[in-house]
A and B are shown apart, each in its own frame.
Chain A
């Protein structure tokens, strides 16, 4: 089990893994553990913007909706967007990186040019325009984030491919008449993937932050709750100047803890699969 090896030496990696497992569990069984329907509005004046009470552990919003339930339902959307966007980025980035590195030449130059263009695009602005123009659905948000995050993956994959394709087993495979497709999927990909995974966990962090960013600007899916959307409602209600801390603190804390967890995991993976980093740079 490589995974056990990876996290054996890293305290923070373990911490990240455990925290993340907790949040994933909450997201999966969310509807069963949420005390209320997050859309259910309050029935009495006491329930409007109430601070934490016994029946509402994290208080309520300006419509009397339960904040804890919003956070639990929000975990589903925030994590879903994180995983889905990062998967899109991973598939696109790896494909382009392997193709560019493996074939080299004109194709490589062309693809890397595309990467450069995407890198110099301020991708969040691009995501704003794409979602604002094409509609605020969850799919559009995932696509907008995913299709702007693949560049780093592509670069890492390409440079890994460049070294792997000169290795003896690949040359031997080619001499034996293996097809390009076979070499790329059976020989190159397995050797490139570990670093790609390390990078992808970092992309998940960025995607979760990006979703919160878009939601805050009013580009979130209005039919769902996510952590970013709860913070947006809190901002629109003026929770900060009213001192209604229970309205926006929990959602932001969740984002911070989850993003940190992914970063820890990514560092642990990176350090394991990238021996140059080991001992020398040694991040937490």
Chain B
């Protein structure tokens, strides 16, 4: 319980500090925010004053900060410059598309990473082990967007390479829709899965080797258990424990991956939203998505730690 409470307080402090960073960043941009918002000639002092007052930018900083926190908790992330709509609405709509892509990609990458990791650890020192290590490290070392571009060039004739669905297509039934979605999703999801599996592979491999040299594994071997059942019943479950915390380690690759891969395949998710926001200097969108992703990461870490402490009692005594 103590551990849980400690981690909860830590997470809250982190979220608060993220809010502070977010607030400060927006206020160190060179230039006046009102001028950036209303890009156009003929700006009179009168108009600037009006908007400065409207946005509360004439108030002292601590009042602005208080207002910022209040509005954020009410779900108001500001208005997008380019869409002229609330950031929150745009974000939620795009989030759904991103999750559709990320969910299968993550599952495949975890499965692939674990499977190859187990094979590699079991056959460590062999040619297969070396090959698998090069394979995983190789994909880890590639920029995601570059692999995506290669896939477009090589497989572009077999799969759709832009967007989520065929424009103007009328679906007779759900099955036809899913088929079209799969056709569009295959290449970006495959790219992401291949790039991301490396981390899972490396952790699985090194953890499993650690477990394989533990005395309980030797005991199981001495008792005459079959190698596959030692793996299945004894070592793999133990080696999987740190995989839960890997969510946090892997999140950077995940984020870099989906932002660029969505851009390459014009997938209408958060990634393309960020890409366009950079091009159009749509700061409220950037700020809103940063905040959203940062808070999600904190929650993911918190959840991973709690799960870890539940399934591995040793953690509490540290």
* Residues of A participating in the B interface, judged by any CB pair closer than 8 Å: 113, 116-117, 119-126, 128-130, 132-135, 205, 209-210, 212-213, 216-219, 228, 231, 234-235, 239-241, 243, 245, 248-249, 251-252, 255-256, 259-260, 263, 280-284
**Of A124, A125, A231, which contacts B145 at CB under 8 A?**
A231
10 extra A-B contacts, CB within 8 A, seeds A125-B274, A240-B149: A123-B252, A126-B21, A132-B281, A231-B149, A240-B150, A241-B152, A252-B142, A260-B137, A280-B210, A282-B124
Bound complex: CA of A220 vs CA of B254, how far in Å? 21
On whether the beta carbons of B14 and A120 are closer than 8 Å, the reply is yes
Chain B residue with the shortest CB-CB distance to A276: B210
By a CB distance below 8 angstroms, the chain A residues around B255 are 122, 124-125
The 7 closest A-B pairs by CB, nearest first: A252-B146, A259-B141, A240-B149, A240-B152, A120-B298, A240-B153, A212-B143
Bound complex: CA of A223 vs CA of B147, how far in Å? 26
B130, CB-defined interface residue at 8 Å: yes
On whether the beta carbons of A252 and B143 are closer than 8 Å, the reply is yes
On whether the beta carbons of B145 and A117 are closer than 8 Å, the reply is no
Bound complex: CA of A120 vs CA of B275, how far in Å? 22
A235-B149 in contact given A122-B297, A129-B286, A216-B143 (Cβ < 8 Å): yes
On whether the beta carbons of B289 and A125 are closer than 8 Å, the reply is yes
Produce 1/0 per residue, B262-277, CB < 8 A to A. 0110000000001100
Bound complex: CA of A117 vs CA of B11, how far in Å? 8
Counting chain B CB atoms within 10 Å of each CB, the highest count among A213, A218, A248 belongs to A213
Chain A residue with the shortest CB-CB distance to B209: A281
**Of B18, B29, B138, B206, which contacts A133 at CB under 8 A?**
B29
B293, CB-defined interface residue at 8 Å: yes
On whether the beta carbons of A113 and B213 are closer than 8 Å, the reply is no
The size bracket of the interface on B is: 35 or more
Produce 1/0 per residue, B63-88, CB < 8 A to A. 00000000000000000000000000
Bound complex: CA of A282 vs CA of B248, how far in Å? 25
Jot down 10 A-B pairs with beta carbons below 8 A, ordered by A: A119-B248, A121-B297, A125-B255, A125-B290, A126-B21, A216-B145, A228-B143, A240-B264, A245-B153, A255-B142
By a CB distance below 8 angstroms, the chain B residues around A132 are 278, 281, 283, 286
By a CB distance below 8 angstroms, the chain A residues around B133 are 283-284
Q: Which of B297-314 contact A (CB under 8 A)?
A: 297-298, 301
- Say how far A242's CB is from chain B's closest CB, in angstroms: 9
On whether the beta carbons of A128 and B286 are closer than 8 Å, the reply is yes
- Say how far A259's CB is from chain B's closest CB, in angstroms: 4
* Residues of B participating in the A interface, judged by any CB pair closer than 8 Å: 10-11, 13-14, 17-18, 21, 25-26, 28-30, 124-125, 130, 133-134, 137-138, 140-143, 145-147, 149-150, 152-153, 156, 161, 202, 206, 209-210, 213, 248, 251-252, 255-256, 259-260, 263-264, 274-275, 278-279, 281, 283, 286-287, 289-290, 293-294, 297-298, 301
Bound complex: CA of A284 vs CA of B205, how far in Å? 12
Bound complex: CA of A234 vs CA of B209, how far in Å? 43
A280-B213 in contact given A120-B14, A125-B290, A241-B153 (Cβ < 8 Å): yes
A280-B153 in contact given A132-B278, A260-B138 (Cβ < 8 Å): no
- Say how far A11's CB is from chain B's closest CB, in angstroms: 10
Chain B residue with the shortest CB-CB distance to A213: B256
By a CB distance below 8 angstroms, the chain B residues around A116 are 10, 14
On whether the beta carbons of A129 and B287 are closer than 8 Å, the reply is yes
- Say how far B144's CB is from chain A's closest CB, in angstroms: 8
Chain B residue with the shortest CB-CB distance to A132: B278
On whether the beta carbons of A217 and B10 are closer than 8 Å, the reply is no
By a CB distance below 8 angstroms, the chain A residues around B206 are 281, 283
- Say how far B22's CB is from chain A's closest CB, in angstroms: 8
- Say how far A109's CB is from chain B's closest CB, in angstroms: 11
**Of B11, B248, B264, B286, which contacts A235 at CB under 8 A?**
B264
On whether the beta carbons of B25 and A234 are closer than 8 Å, the reply is no
- Say how far B248's CB is from chain A's closest CB, in angstroms: 7
On whether the beta carbons of B256 and A124 are closer than 8 Å, the reply is yes
**Of A213, A256, A283, which contacts B260 at CB under 8 A?**
A213
By a CB distance below 8 angstroms, the chain A residues around B293 are 122, 125
